[in-house]
Structure formats: C-alpha cells, structure tokens
Amino acid sequence: MGASERNWPRPDVRRRAGCARGRGNRAAHCTDDVLTTVLVVHGPNLGTLGRREPELYGTTTLAAINAALVELASSWGWQISVFQSNSEGAIIDAIEQRAGDIDGLLLNPGALAHYGLGLRDALAGLTVPVVEVHLTNIHAREDWRRRSVTAEVSRGLISGFGWRSYVLGLRAMHGMLSDTES
C-alpha cells in the first residue's frame, strides 16, 4: 500500500496578509477568517487497522478514526488533513511540505516511534505543537516499544486508549491552540 492522503472539504477561507502560522498562535486580527488546520499522520501498518491483529489494535478502521476526527474538528470549525504511509521518507516529506500551512500535528508514528530518527529530527524542526498517539499502551508492551524517540520532541504522548487515543489527542490539541481546556 502506498502513501495516501485526503484533504477534507473546507470552506473557502483565505489568510489575511501577515497571518503566518507558527507555534500554534496567530495575531488576534487573524482569528476571524483563518481556519485552524491539523495534519493527522498515520504511520506504518495503520492503513490495515480493523484487520491487522484486531485482538491488539481493535476492529475500528482507519477510515472510521478519520471520520471521528473530522466530525470533532468540524464542531470547532477546524480542518483536518490526513496522511498515511508505510514509508518514513514519505511521512517526513508530507510533514515538511505542509509545515507552513498547519497549526498542529497529530501523529501516530507506529513502529517509527522507536527507531525513526529521521522523523524525530523533522518533528524537532516544527514550530507547531505535536501530539503523539498510540492505540496500545506502549509502556505495557515489549521493552523495545517502551521508548519513543518521537515523543521526545512532541508536546505530549497519549497511548493505550485504542482509537480514542486519537480523539483525546485532538482534544489536547484544541486545548493548546485555543488556550482553553476541551
């Protein structure tokens, strides 16, 4: 399976001059007509959710997770852009290409969390908050899964709540970007 992405429909919103993105904060005059955009990145093997080891990862599909995120984000007037790849290089490229157009990154790096130093370095260069999520509790699994090199450069890590880890991660992102609790 190759890389797949989907830019969900959004209203025709134009950025005003001087409304640059970065660190999740914009000037006050920019908030009225700039749509908050979160990039959701799904790493290796997540395209087969619902079929792959359902006893461990559950039966919820990636499409269902994406739909739940879009529904929640839409309730806030936000846009979700989704990308999935089994390739670390493709994931890095997608993040770098969108870095100036997003307000936050919700990331499930899959196994790349444990050894993806290239991905880690790409995340370290971002100026927007990164929330890492995992379906399983990585600290309750094999020793080698307990360390996340990508979490070291993320704002936070949520794991162990199945597909709800994504929803919790997006809610945390909303709190950070809105400076409120959600």
Q: Which amino acid is at 11?
A: P
| Residue 115 among the catalytic residues | no
Residue 78 has φ and ψ, to the nearest 5°, of -100, 165
The CA dihedral of 136, 105, 3, 142, to the nearest 10 degrees, is -20
Catalytic residue among 42, 57, 166, 174: 57
Q: Which amino acid is at 68?
A: A
Catalytic residue among 42, 134, 166, 174: 134
- DSSP for 50-98? TTS-HHHH-S--HHHHHHHHHHHHHHTT-EEEEEE-S-HHHHHHHHHHH
| Residue 166 among the catalytic residues | no
* Residues forming the active site: 57, 134
